[in-house]
C-alpha cells in the first residue's frame, strides 16, 4: 500500500516536471517579455539592463532550472500588468475559485447521485422522464448560456439574486470566504448551479447506468434470495458498488470544475483565478498564465492521486492486488 502510494507520487512528480517545461516554454514562444515590461520609447541599453536583471540572458537550461526551482517554492515571478508577485495574486484569488468549485461539486454529487438512483429504481415515472430531460439540457447547453439565462431570470427579471461578484466576504487568515454572509451565499447560488450543472448531469447518467448494471448482477439476485429488505439491497449493496466508478469520475471532474471555472467566473465576474487568467490572456501576462497552468495541473495531479487511494479504500479487491506485487 505504501509502495503503491509512493510509486504514484513519483509518477505525479514526473507529470509536474513535464508541465513545468510547457509552462516555461510559454515565456520563450509568446514574444519577448521585455517588450511587455518596458514602454515603446525605452532605449536599448535600458532594455538590456532589464533583460539582465530578470536573468533573461542566461542559457535556456539555467533559466528553466531557476524557474522551476522558484515554482517549487510557489514563486512565479512578477505579473507584467499588476507589477505584483504572481503568487500573491493567485493566493488572493484562490479562495473564491475553490469555494465556487467545492460548492458546485457538492451540488453536483448530491443531486446527481439522488437523481441517478431514483431514475434507476423507478424507471418509468414522470419524475424520471423529467430528470432525463434536465440532464439532456445540462449536457447539451453551453455553460455561458446557462449562466446568462439564470442571470436574466433571477437577477434581471425577478431581482432575487446578484448578477455578479462575490458579495460580502469575511477574512479568516489569508482565506476570504463568502460562506458566512448572506450576500456571499446569495452570490454563490447561480455560479455554483452554472458550474455544477454539467457535472450533475454527468454523475446522474453515470449513477443511473451503473445502478442498472449492478441491479442485474448475481449478487443482487442472491441478496434478494436471502430475503434482505429492498432498502438494504438498493442502498447498501447496489449503491456501494455503483460508487466505485462514480468516485473516479467525480474526482477527476473536480479538476475540470476548477479549470472550467474560467467561463463561469467570466460570466458572473467572479473574482477567482479563472477571471485572473482571462485578464492575463488579454494582456499577454505570461507569468500569470504559466503559474495558472502549473496550479491547475497540480490540482489535477493531486486529485488523481487521492482518487487512486480512495479506490483502494472502497474496493477491497484492489487492496490485495496492490499489496501483492504482480
By CB under 8 A, what part of segment 162-221 binds other proteins? 217-219, 221
The residue behind cell 445502478 is 211
CA angle 318, 322, 323 (to 5 degrees): 120
Query: Does residue number 324 form part of the binding site for other proteins (CB under 8 A)?
Result: no
| Contact between 235 and other proteins per CB under 8 A | no
Q: Is 39 in the site for other proteins (CB under 8 A)?
A: no
* Residue whose cell numbers read 453536483: 108
**Cβ at position 240, least distance to other proteins in Å:** 5
DSSP character string of 214-279: HHTSHHHHHHHHTT--HHIIIIIIIHHHHHHHHHHHHHHHHHHHHHHHHHHHHHTT--SHHHHHHH
Rounded (to 5) percent helix, strand, coil in the chain: 75, 0, 20
Contacts of 39-43 with C-beta under 8 Å, sequence gap 24+, read none
Closest of 259, 262, 215 to residue 239, by C-alpha: 215
Q: How far is the CB of 321 from other proteins (least distance, A)?
A: 9
Closest distance to other proteins from the beta carbon of 209 (Å): 18
Query: Are the C-beta atoms of 284 and 80 separated by less than 8 Å?
Result: yes
Which stretch of DSSP H or E encloses residue 170?
strand 170-172
Nearer to other proteins (CB atom), residue 122 or residue 240: 240
Nearest CB to other proteins, comparing residues 71 and 223:
223
Range in contact with other proteins (rule: CB under 8 A) among 117-125, 229-237, 266-274, 282-290: 229-237
Would you count residue 326 as binding other proteins (CB under 8 A)?
no
Binding of residue 121 to other proteins (CB under 8 A): no
What residue has cell string 479506490? 311
123 lies in the binding site for other proteins (CB under 8 A): no
Alpha-carbon dihedral angle through residues 298, 302, 308, 313, given to the nearest 10 degrees: -170
If binding is defined by CB under 8 A, does position 17 make contact with other proteins? Answer: no
Please say which residue, 171 or 324, places its beta carbon nearer to other proteins: 324
Q: DSSP state, 122?
A: S
Candidates 79, 241, 253, 266; binder of other proteins (CB under 8 A) is: 241
Identity of the residue, 122 or 221, whose beta carbon is nearer to other proteins in the bound complex: 221
Is residue 1 a contact residue for other proteins (CB under 8 A)? no
Q: Which is nearer to other proteins, 31 or 236 (CB)?
A: 236
Binding status of residue 314 toward other proteins by CB under 8 A: yes
With contacts defined by CB under 8 A, name the span among 80-88, 95-103, 227-235, 251-259 that binds other proteins: 227-235
Q: Which stretch binds other proteins (CB under 8 A): 171-179, 224-232, 263-271, 296-304?
A: 224-232
Interface residue with other proteins among 109, 237, 260, 295 (CB under 8 A) is 237
Q: Considering only CA atoms, which of 196, 193, 174 is closest in space to residue 95?
A: 174
**CA dist 57 → 32, 33, 51, 231, 250 (Å):** 12, 12, 6, 69, 45
Residue 170 forms beta bridges with which residues? 177
Per CB under 8 A, does 229 bind other proteins? yes
Give residues in contact with other proteins (CB under 8 A). 217-219, 221-230, 232, 236-237, 240-241, 244, 314-317, 320
Amino acid at each position: 500500500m505504501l509502495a503503491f502510494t509512493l510509486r504514484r507520487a513519483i509518477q505525479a512528480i514526473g507529470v509536474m516536471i513535464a508541465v513545468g517545461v510547457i509552462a516555461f516554454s510559454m515565456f520563450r514562444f509568446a514574444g519577448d517579455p521585455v517588450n511587455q515590461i518596458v514602454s515603446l520609447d525605452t532605449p536599448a541599453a535600458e532594455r538590456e539592463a532589464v533583460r539582465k536583471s530578470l536573468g533573461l540572458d542566461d542559457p535556456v537550461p539555467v533559466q528553466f532550472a531557476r524557474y522551476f526551482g522558484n515554482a517549487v517554492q510557489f514563486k512565479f515571478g512578477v505579473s507584467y500588468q499588476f507589477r505584483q508577485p504572481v503568487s500573491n495574486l493567485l493566493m488572493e484569488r484562490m479562495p473564491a475559485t475553490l469555494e465556487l468549485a467545492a460548492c458546485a461539486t457538492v451540488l453536483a454529487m448530491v443531486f446527481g447521485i439522488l437523481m441517478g438512483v431514483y431514475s434507476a429504481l423507478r424507471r418509468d415515472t414522470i419524475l424520471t422522464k423529467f430528470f432525463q430531460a434536465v440532464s439532456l439540457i445540462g449536457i447539451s447547453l453551453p455553460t455561458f448560456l446557462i449562466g446568462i439565462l439564470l442571470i436574466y431570470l433571477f437577477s434581471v427579471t425577478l431581482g432575487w439574486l446578484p448578477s455578479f461578484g462575490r458579495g460580502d466576504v469575511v477574512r479568516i487568515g489569508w482565506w476570504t470566504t463568502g460562506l458566512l454572509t448572506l450576500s456571499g451565499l446569495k452570490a454563490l447560488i447561480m455560479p455554483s448551479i452554472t458550474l455544477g450543472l454539467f457535472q450533475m448531469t454527468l454523475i446522474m447518467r453515470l449513477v443511473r447506468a451503473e445502478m442498472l448494471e449492478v441491479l442485474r448482477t448475481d449478487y443482487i439476485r442472491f441478496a434478494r434470495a436471502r430475503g434482505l429488505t429492498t432498502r438494504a439491497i438498493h442502498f447498501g449493496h447496489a449503491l456501494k458498488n455503483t460508487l466505485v466508478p462514480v468516485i473516479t469520475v467525480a474526482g477527476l471532474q473536480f479538476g475540470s470544475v476548477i479549470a472550467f471555472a474560467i467561463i463561469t467566473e467570466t460570466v458572473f465576474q467572479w473574482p477567482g483565478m479563472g477571471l485572473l487568467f482571462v485578464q492575463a490572456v488579454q494582456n499577454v501576462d505570461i507569468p500569470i498564465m504559466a503559474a495558472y497552468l502549473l496550479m491547475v495541473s497540480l490540482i489535477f495531479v493531486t486529485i488523481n492521486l487521492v482518487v487512486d487511494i480512495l479506490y483502494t479504500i472502497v474496493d477491497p479487491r484492489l487492496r490485495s492486488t496492490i499489496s501483492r506485487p504482480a
